[in-house]
Amino acid sequence: MTATGKGQGGRQIAFLGTGLMGAPMARRLIGAGFAVTVWNRDPGKAEVLVADGAVRAQTPGDAVSGADVVITMLTNAEAVGKVLFDGGAAEAMPPGATVIDMSSIAPHFARDHAARLAERGIGHVDAPVSGGVVGAEAGTLAIMAGGDEAVIEGLHDVFAPMGRVTRVGPSGSGQLAKLANQQIVAVTIGAVAEAMMLIAAGGGSPAAFRDAIRGGFAESRILDLHGKRMVERQFAPGGSSTNQLKDLNAAMETAEALSLTLPLTAAVHAEFGEFVANGNGEKDHSGLLLHLEEKNGRPGGKR
């Protein structure tokens, strides 16, 4: 396979950003038969995909040359803008190509990127995801898309190996949905963590408590996956607290722009801010439990 070869449906895909989430997503596309060229700022993270059938490019411009679809999965809006516009990717894309930005960035950045790409005859869909590394590996991500309805519909074969796509609305709406998703995730993590502390402080078993309420109204993916992390006290990142805080920052900025008061989001935003400021940014966001325990003088969940 070469960088100019065509895969499933005659499509050539460039995947920019093959980190914790991007690598398994790219593997899903390769496994579905697409020709995929990959690039990452750390070349080693792209090189590991060569054994799966990817072609590794030296630069973003090289990666997107001849691509029909360019997928970005990068850290933040600054990184996306730098790769697309400062790193030469937009200039190297052929007219008629489409960028699918699956990074999590603020909605106004997504709209700005879409407008700048449109001037070059390049389409844009903002399509952030939820589901973590587990969902990326299994191809079960929830994909929230913003952009032209016909363009998104025409990309269903690209989205399908990675998960379930839903168009939320026009440009920026996918990112708005991701912020709302992250609000729910953060507030629910906080609620589960506080409940775990309440049980432990009263002499109960957090593990038994989690089992007892499974299937009831409090059931959720957070209780399932992150509740398990809290019980087992395993906080290696699936989703880092730094990224959770980044999304909460964007949610609060967006709420302010829309003249909204979000007291629950504001409260958990403050707690994540303290947790990250205290040097815990690379812990999983379920590790907020550690921060709340410390605030209550119960490090390790002990009395």
Cα 249 to the chain's mean position, in Å? 15
User: Active site includes 228?
Assistant: no
98: left (phi over 0), alpha (psi -120 to 50) or beta: beta
The span from the CA of 158 to the CA of 178, in Å, is 20
DSSP-derived letter for residue 68 is: S
Cα 12 to the chain's mean position, in Å? 23
The alpha helices in the chain, defined as continuous H runs, are 22-31, 43-47, 60-64, 77-81, 89-92, 107-118, 132-138, 149-154, 156-159, 173-201, 206-213, 221, 227-232, 241-257, 263-275, 288-295
Active-site residue identified among 178, 246, 295, 302? 178
Per the CB < 8 A criterion, the answer to whether 161 and 152 are in contact is no
Helix pair 173-201, 263-275: axis angle to 10 deg: 70
Q: Return the active site residues.
A: 178
